[in-house]
A = this chain, B = another copy of it.
Amino acid sequence: MNYCSNCGSEQLVKKIPEGDNKPRICCENCGTIHYSNPKMVVGCLPVWEGKILLCRRAIEPRKGYWGLPAGYLENKESVEEGALRETLEESGAEVDIVRMHAIYNIPRISQVYIFFLANMRGPELDPGEESLEARLFELDEIPYEEMAFPSSSYAIRKYKEDLKEGFKAVHLGAWTH
C-alpha cells in the first residue's frame, strides 16, 4: 500500500492505533486504519467409489502440479458454497458435502484452507480453464511427489486415517516450515 485508498494521501505510517494492540497501516491525513486479514481457501475432497478427485493446475503458482479442487472464498459466499463452486469450476464435478474434514493453516502467508469431505454424484468430469486435467485416483495411487501444495496432501492423509480409525473430529493442521 503506497497511497491511502480513502483520501489518496501518501502519509501512511505503521503504528498501533489507540485501543488496539497490533500495528496497522494508518493514514495520518484522514485517520483511516487499513486492516489486513487472512484469506480463506475453500475446497473439497471429492470421493467416487473409493477414488479421490484431483485436478492438475493450468495456472501459476505450481502450474502442472496436482491438488484437491479449492480456491479463494468470495465475498457474500458461505464456505460450503465456495467449496462447491471451486469444485465445479476446476473439475466439472457436482458433489454433495458429507461433513467438514480439515483446516490447514499457513500462517506465514496468512492463509487458512478449509476442506469438506464430499460425495461425487457421478464420475463425469469437465475441467475448467484453471485445470489441465481432472482425474480420479485410487488411494494408493495419489501422486504425493507431484502435489502443488501441502494442504491437499494433508487432507488426503487424514482422510485415509479416518477410513482406518473412524472419524473423530475435524483435523487441524499447519504448514510451519
Contacts and interface: CB of A to CB of B under 8 A. Distances in A.
Interface in A73-117: 73-81, 97, 99-100, 103, 105, 107-108, 110, 112, 114
Contacts of A79: 103, 105, 112, 172
Contact of A7 (B2, B37, B169, B174): B2
Nearest to A21: B89
A170 interface: yes
Contact of A74 (B22, B169, B174): B22
Interface in A21-79: 22, 34-40, 72-79
Main secondary structure of the interface of A (DSSP, over half): loop
Q: What band does the interface of chain A fall in when counting residues whose beta carbon is under 8 Å from B?
A: 35 or more
B7 A8 contact: no
A156 to B, nearest CB: 19
B112 A73 contact: yes
Contacts of A105: 78-80
A108 B8 CA distance: 28
Given A78-B105, A105-B79, A174-B78, A8 B19 contact: no
Nearest to A99: B169
Interface of A: 1-8, 10, 19, 22, 34-40, 72-81, 97, 99-100, 103, 105, 107-108, 110, 112, 114, 129, 167-170, 172, 174
